[in-house]
Amino acid sequence: MRRILLRRFAQIIPLILGVIVLNFALIQMSPGSFLDVMTAEQQVSDPAMIERMRVLYGMDKPVVVQLLKYIWSVMTLDFGYSYRQNETVLAVIGQALPATVILMLASIAIALLIGVLAGVIAAVKVNTIWDNLISVGAVFFFAAPTFWLGIMLMIVFSVRLGWLPVGGMRDIGVDHGVFGDALDVMRHLALPALSLGLFYAAMYTRVMRASMLEVFRHDFVRTARAKGLSGAQVVLRHVFRNALLPVVTLLGLQLGTVLGGSVVIETVFSWPGIGSLMLDSVMSRNYPVVLGVLVLSSLIVAVANALVDIAYFRLDPRIRAR
């Protein structure tokens, strides 16, 4: 067990190296640099001044040297300096990260809860009105763009009904106390997490339904019924756990896209997370931050994937044996 864990986590290192090289190359290939934005904003036009800045930021060196220097500094946990916020990249990301992690976790929780439950109901009530309603709902939420869904939810629940805040993460200028603050964040979280979560919930619903129906056909389900177990006992004890495996696989594969989706949703709801930071940084060609976000987020996804693998390992004894 420990060896498998070690091996699983060791696989992350080459993956991260690949991510760094690829994204570094991507940024090198894109037109313009943060110097252009900086000099334009400060209205600097003296070529000697620009040249001095190029040397200062090490941009006169060959690309390969820049890359190696970057990899080296990443290994020492130095992701560079953001000229815009005048802080280290790590500090900038560190401020935005918790918001995104909260949003991701909430979305995944919503997606799993709704998706698995709806999938189970659709499978148990297969070919009934419930199944049809759930399936139509799933197709709708799967097809609806998340930003559109976000805006619609915002219009209904924030603008028209006024139940929930329009955006942001906290009420500004109000002191709620520790407990009240948590509640305040949750109120702000509800709509963005729902917009993002419903899309994945739709997918999990479809997968869970199909997977349940597949497991229902297995011989051991007949054995369970032959034991005299009730329908609910058969579903919960025998079908559910076996049917959950494909959903867990999907979850692992999708952690990256959940992070990607949060970029959009954070922008819609002005959620102060990595997504908003990323968008700002791209706009201002703040490449050290862009690169830092990409590297750190791929690290998060890789670690989360390893954790999902371990969950899989716990769920299915057949994998443990190998």
Residues forming contacts to other proteins in the complex (CB under 8 A) are 218-220, 222-231, 233, 237-238, 241-242, 315-318, 321
**Alpha carbon separation from 10 to 14, 31, 71, 259 (Å, rounded):** 8, 35, 17, 23
Q: Which is nearer to other proteins, 160 or 217 (CB)?
A: 217
Distance of closest approach, residue 316 Cβ to other proteins, in angstroms:
6
Q: Amino acid identity, residue 19?
A: V
Distance of closest approach, residue 115 Cβ to other proteins, in angstroms:
20
Distance of closest approach, residue 58 Cβ to other proteins, in angstroms:
55
Q: Which is nearer to other proteins, 229 or 310 (CB)?
A: 229
Q: Which is nearer to other proteins, 86 or 230 (CB)?
A: 230
Distance of closest approach, residue 241 Cβ to other proteins, in angstroms:
5
Separation of alpha carbons 156 and 107, rounded Å: 20
- 43, two tokens: 């209205």
Separation of alpha carbons 37 and 15, rounded Å: 32
Q: Which residues contact 38 (CB under 8 A, 6 or more apart)?
A: 44, 53, 83
Separation of alpha carbons 109 and 193, rounded Å: 9
- 265, two tokens: 């949703």
Distance of closest approach, residue 251 Cβ to other proteins, in angstroms:
18
Q: Which is nearer to other proteins, 53 or 224 (CB)?
A: 224
Distance of closest approach, residue 220 Cβ to other proteins, in angstroms:
4
Q: Which is nearer to other proteins, 69 or 320 (CB)?
A: 320
Separation of alpha carbons 188 and 269, rounded Å: 9
Q: Which is nearer to other proteins, 170 or 225 (CB)?
A: 225
The region that residue 285 occupies, defined by phi over 0 for left and psi between -120 and 50 for alpha, beta otherwise, is left
Distance of closest approach, residue 113 Cβ to other proteins, in angstroms:
22
Cβ neighbours, 10 Å, residue 211:
23
How large is the greatest C-alpha to C-alpha distance in the chain, in angstroms?
A: 87
DSSP string, 123-161: HHTTTSHHHHHHHHHHHHHHHS-HHHHHHHHIIIIIIIS
Q: Which is nearer to other proteins, 223 or 257 (CB)?
A: 223
Q: What are phi and psi of 88, to 5 degrees?
A: -70, 155
Q: Count Cα atoms within 13 angstroms, Cβ side, for 147.
A: 8
Distance of closest approach, residue 132 Cβ to other proteins, in angstroms:
17
Q: Which is nearer to other proteins, 4 or 224 (CB)?
A: 224
Separation of alpha carbons 274 and 271, rounded Å: 9
- Smallest CA-to-CA distance from 188 within 202, 206, 199, 174 is with 174
Distance of closest approach, residue 120 Cβ to other proteins, in angstroms:
16
Q: Which is nearer to other proteins, 161 or 226 (CB)?
A: 226
